[in-house]
Amino acid sequence: LGIPIHHYVEVDFQGFKEIVDEIGGVEICVVYAARDKNSGLDIQPGCTNLDGTMALAYARSRYYEEWDGDDWVIDGRADLGRIERQQLFIRAAVNGALADMAASPFGSGDLIEAVAASVRVDPRLDPIKAGETLRKAAERGLKTYSLPVRNDTVGDAAVLQLADGAE
């Protein structure tokens, strides 16, 4: 797409769970019961505080299903649905962590240690500047974007093509 990647931050699955547990979980609200037999996701309608294990199941869910009152209905958006749920999760996690740090700024040492032990960054990234940029972005509200796409078939493969407005 011609979008340069200047830096990266990497968190493995175990680190992800530890960070979520350190911030006391992440609250996710759903209208319908949801599950994914493959990832282990199982949440009931309403707001649920996901611990690290269930948060990972939510973020990784590729076979997300919702109970419509009669049957389990799979999310036909596949990876697009998963990306949308991941973006929702990231916003909820950052907002929750910032609220906790604002309420108890001297109690955030354990969170900082958990992040430091679990996160790898590229060697050119200045962690102080990155932290300041993340803080500013979170204060303004994290914004996420998704390109508009349409389903298509190329040969025997189901693919996504960029749709109107993608430029």
Q: What is the pLDDT of residues 112-143, one digit of tens each?
A: 777 777 888 888 888 778 777 777 776 777 67
Q: What is the pLDDT of residues 35-75, one digit of tens each?
A: 999 999 999 999 999 999 999 999 999 999 999 999 999 99
Residue 153, φ and ψ in degrees, nearest 5 = -125, 130
* pLDDT value of residue 107: 67
Task: Supply 141's token pair.
Answer: 């509200």
* pLDDT value of residue 49: 96
What dihedral angle (degrees, nearest 10) is formed by the CA atoms of 123, 126, 127, 133?
Answer: -130
Q: By CB neighbour count within 10 A (0-12 exposed, 13-18 middle, 19+ buried), where does 119 fall?
A: middle
Instruction: Give the rounded percent of residues in the chain with a pLDDT score beyond 70.
Output: 96
